[in-house]
């Protein structure tokens, strides 16, 4: 594998800062300062606000409901069409000068509490209150300790840009009507099922590919060792491997290097920096797709000659004719995705390039034993926890979630993600998983299958089946946590690492293989090697 390919793959490997992220705007709140109380115990819900201007259907906006007030309708057909009017005074901290007869009132935030504004609006005859935040965030409205929470009209928070748009329409004497309703999200969307299958399937394919290569290399080594020639033995021992083994030191450095990448992404997040990431992703994705296609086509006899014939090119070295034929197609696919990446269907190309990149990285980078795998996953475990949950105390926001969303970039997330659109969610958006949540556990799971195959272990007597099952279960628990935590971004490795690593360590200890797993990385065998089954048998 060429050096430039390895560099691009390692860059993507370290960009694992991408986790599950809730769809919609950024929402903040002060629930820790104002907990639930009677009359102020609603669940926070996103609210759809479709509008009609001068009799014509216009833009649909999104707000967030308050802790207080009645529950909103969940279906559009049951929501009342209500006229919107401006508050006078604008903050609604004193009774309005204009008489209200069932209109919804648009109010600016500030100068008094949310419950005070809502009570005043209700007493004046308003049917709903829309409070405009002083930023683009959606602030969750809670109650103060001594608030009058006997409120019978809904209160909805809108971001400042929406409030400005609606306010300008009303200042220009336009007739604005709106509805307020909050569709319920499905407990499980089909997209999450497909994303789970995609992640587990990618690790399965990568593991079998890695184990196949390891077994074929061991078979070739067995054939050479039988020759008992010192010259042959030396040739075998000094042969350059086509993969890179991670050391304990590099596993420990992972936290530092990955954190530097993450902070750099956070600080430099902008349109031009996203373009740089897109270029890197296209390079890695195109080369990953080329590697996968060449490997796949080489298994067919029609392409054997092209795969086995090489030409020497400057900078690239020896390149097969098959790779030369496939490369332009892969580059074209990457370029087409880059051009149309903002289109609704671009996720398909992103997932194809991403999966090809992950598969290829898992062939190049390997975990030599369980000790290195344990250090690597343990570092990733604490890395995830810190940058998702604890970084907000240093940066006033979760760095990993901000990076994954692509804030300030003008894009719907940065490209180092696998994503699928939510199919039955009325709020739309994507279910996503970061490359690191597949790559890092995948390194250890691929190691377990290589261990099983080199030891000729049956599937149930080996470690791979249990490792991949534990990974799938850990990923499933991540989805459950995502839904229980009101859609807030969750660090997947927080759940995946204990299941995957705990299963391998416990099973290895119980079977008495832990020493071999921990240090050697392959079963104890006689020399020359116990005969391995080849692919032709």
**Annotation marks residue 91 as catalytic:** no
* DSSP letter assigned to residue 40: B
**How many beta carbons lie within 10 A of that of residue 310, not counting itself?**
14
Return the SS3 of 337. Answer: helix
* DSSP letter assigned to residue 240: P
For 369-433, the DSSP string reads SHHHHHHHHHHHHHHHHIIIIITHHHHSS-HHHHHHHTTTTTSSS-SSEEEEE-SS-TT--EEEE
Backbone angles phi, psi at 448, to 5 degrees: -65, -35
Backbone angles phi, psi at 71, to 5 degrees: -75, 135
Pairwise CA distance, residues 465 & 210, whole Å: 15
Q: Which of 384, 425, 452, 516 is catalytic?
A: 384
Alpha helices in 172-320 (DSSP H): 190-225, 230-238, 248-268, 271-298, 304-308
Q: Which of 189, 351, 425, 437 is catalytic?
A: 437
Return the SS3 of 85. Answer: strand
Return the SS3 of 106. Answer: strand
Pairwise CA distance, residues 272 & 346, whole Å: 20
Pairwise CA distance, residues 42 & 34, whole Å: 13
* DSSP letter assigned to residue 531: P
**How many beta carbons lie within 10 A of that of residue 232, not counting itself?**
14
**Annotation marks residue 245 as catalytic:** no
Whether the Cβ atoms of residue 494 and residue 385 lie closer than 8 Å to each other:
yes
Return the SS3 of 142. Answer: coil
- How far is the CA of 471 from the CAs of 326, 387, 413, 453, in angstroms? 33, 22, 25, 20
Please identify every residue annotated as catalytic.
Answer: 384, 437
């Amino acid at each position: 594998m060429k050096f430039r390919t390895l560099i691009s793959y390692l860059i993507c490997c370290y960009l694992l800062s991408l986790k599950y992220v809730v769809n919609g705007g950024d929402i903040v709140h002060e629930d820790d300062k104002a907990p639930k109380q009677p009359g102020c115990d609603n669940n926070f819900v996103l609210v759809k606000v479709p509008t009609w201007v001068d009799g014509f259907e216009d833009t649909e906006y999104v707000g967030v409901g308050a802790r207080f007030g009645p529950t909103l309708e969940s279906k559009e057909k049951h929501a009342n069409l209500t006229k919107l009017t401006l508050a006078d005074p604008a903050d609604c901290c004193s009774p309005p000068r204009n008489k209200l007869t069932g209109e919804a009132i648009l109010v600016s935030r500030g100068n008094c509490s949310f419950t005070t504004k809502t009570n005043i609006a209700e007493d004046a005859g308003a049917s709903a209150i829309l409070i405009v935040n002083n930023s683009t965030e959606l602030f969750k409205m809670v109650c103060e300790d001594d608030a009058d929470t006997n409120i019978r009209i809904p209160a909805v928070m809108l971001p400042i840009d929406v409030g400005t748009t609606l306010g300008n329409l009303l200042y220009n004497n336009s007739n604005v009507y709106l509805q307020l309703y909050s569709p319920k999200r499905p407990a499980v969307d089909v997209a999450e099922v497909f994303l789970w299958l995609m992640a587990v399937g990618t690790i399965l394919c990568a593991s079998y590919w890695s184990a196949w290569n390891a077994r074929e290399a061991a078979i070739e080594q067995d054939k050479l060792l039988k020759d008992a020639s010192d010259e042959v033995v030396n040739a075998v021992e000094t042969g350059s491997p086509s993969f890179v083994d991670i050391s304990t030191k590099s596993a420990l450095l992972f936290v530092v290097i990955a954190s530097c990448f993450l902070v750099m992404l956070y600080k430099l997040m902008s349109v031009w920096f996203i373009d740089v990431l897109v270029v890197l992703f296209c390079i890695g994705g195109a080369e990953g797709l080329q590697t996968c296609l060449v490997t796949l086509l080489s298994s067919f006899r029609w392409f054997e000659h092209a795969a086995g014939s090489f030409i020497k090119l400057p900078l690239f070295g020896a390149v097969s004719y098959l790779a030369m034929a496939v490369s332009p197609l892969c580059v074209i696919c990457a370029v087409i995705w880059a051009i149309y990446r903002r289109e609704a269907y671009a996720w398909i190309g992103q997932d194809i390039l991403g999966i090809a990149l992950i598969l290829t990285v898992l062939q190049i980078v390997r975990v030599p034993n369980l000790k290195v795998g344990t250090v690597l996953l343990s570092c990733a475990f604490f890395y995830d926890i810190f940058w998702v949950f604890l970084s907000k105390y240093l940066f006033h926001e979760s760095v990993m979630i901000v990076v994954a969303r692509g804030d300030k970039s003008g894009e719907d997330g940065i490209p180092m993600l696998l994503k699928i659109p939510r199919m039955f969610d009325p709020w739309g958006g994507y279910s996503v998983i970061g490359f690191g949540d597949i790559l890092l556990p995948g390194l250890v799971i691929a190691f377990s299958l290589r261990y099983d195959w080199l030891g000729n272990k049956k599937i149930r007597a080996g470690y791979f089946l249990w490792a991949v099952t534990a990974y799938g279960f850990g990923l499933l628990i991540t989805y459950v946590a995502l839904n229980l935590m009101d859609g807030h971004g969750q660090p997947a490795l927080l759940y995946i690492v204990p299941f995957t690593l705990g299963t391998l360590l416990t099973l290895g200890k119980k079977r008495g293989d832990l020493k071999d797993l921990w240090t050697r990385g392959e079963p104890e065998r006689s020399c020359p090697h116990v005969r391995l089954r080849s692919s032709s048998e």
